[in-house]
Structure 1
Amino acid sequence: MELIYGIKDRPSLGKVILFALQQLLAIMAATIAVPAIVGNGLSASAALFGAGVGTFVYLLFTKSSSPVFLGSSFAFIGSMFSAFGGAASVTVGYWGLIIGAVMAGLVYVIIAIIVKCCGVKWIDRLMPPVIIGPTVSIIGLSLSANAVSD
Structure 2
Amino acid sequence: MNLIYGIKDKPGFGKTVLFALQQLLAIMAATIAVPAIVGHGLTASAALFGAGVGTFVYLVFTKSSSPVFLGSSFAFIGSMFSAFAGAETLGLAQAAGYWGLIIGALMAGVVYIIIALVVKFCGVKWIDRLMPPVIIGPTVA
Relative to the length of structure 2, the TM-score reads 0.90
Highest RCO, 1 vs 2 (Cα 8 Å, sep ≥ 6): 1
Distance (Å, rounded) in 1 between the aligned partners of 2:95 and 2:14: 47
> Hey, what does 1:143 align to over in structure 2?
none
Distance (Å, rounded) in 2 between the aligned partners of 1:17 and 1:90: 42
Q: What SS does structure 2 have at the residue aligned with 1:116?
A: helix
Matched, 1:125 2:120: no
Matched, 1:59 2:63: no
Q: Which segments of 5 or more consecutive residues in structure 1 lack a partner in the other structure?
A: 138-150
Q: Which segments of 5 or more consecutive residues in structure 2 lack a partner in the other structure?
A: none
> Hey, what does 1:26 align to over in structure 2?
26
Distance (Å, rounded) in 1 between the aligned partners of 2:60 and 2:31: 21
> Hey, what does 1:95 align to over in structure 2?
99
> Hey, what does 1:146 align to over in structure 2?
none
TM-aligned CA deviation for residue 49 of structure 1 = 0.6
* Letter aligned with residue 67 of structure 1: P
TM-aligned CA deviation for residue 130 of structure 1 = 3.6
TM-aligned CA deviation for residue 117 of structure 1 = 1.1
Percent identical residues: 84
Distance verdict in 2 for CA 1:10–1:130, change over 3 Å: closer
> Hey, what does 2:120 align to over in structure 1?
116
Distance verdict in 2 for CA 1:3–1:59, change over 3 Å: farther
TM-aligned CA deviation for residue 133 of structure 1 = 4.7
Task: Name segments (4+ residues, structure 1) moved above 4 Å.
Answer: 133-137
Distance (Å, rounded) in 2 between the aligned partners of 1:3 and 1:20: 16
TM-aligned CA deviation for residue 3 of structure 1 = 5.6
Distance verdict in 2 for CA 1:106–1:125, change over 3 Å: same
> Hey, what does 1:39 align to over in structure 2?
39
Distance verdict in 2 for CA 1:136–1:17, change over 3 Å: closer
Most deviating of 78-87 and 120-129: 120-129
Distance verdict in 2 for CA 1:60–1:123, change over 3 Å: same
Relative to the length of structure 1, the TM-score reads 0.85
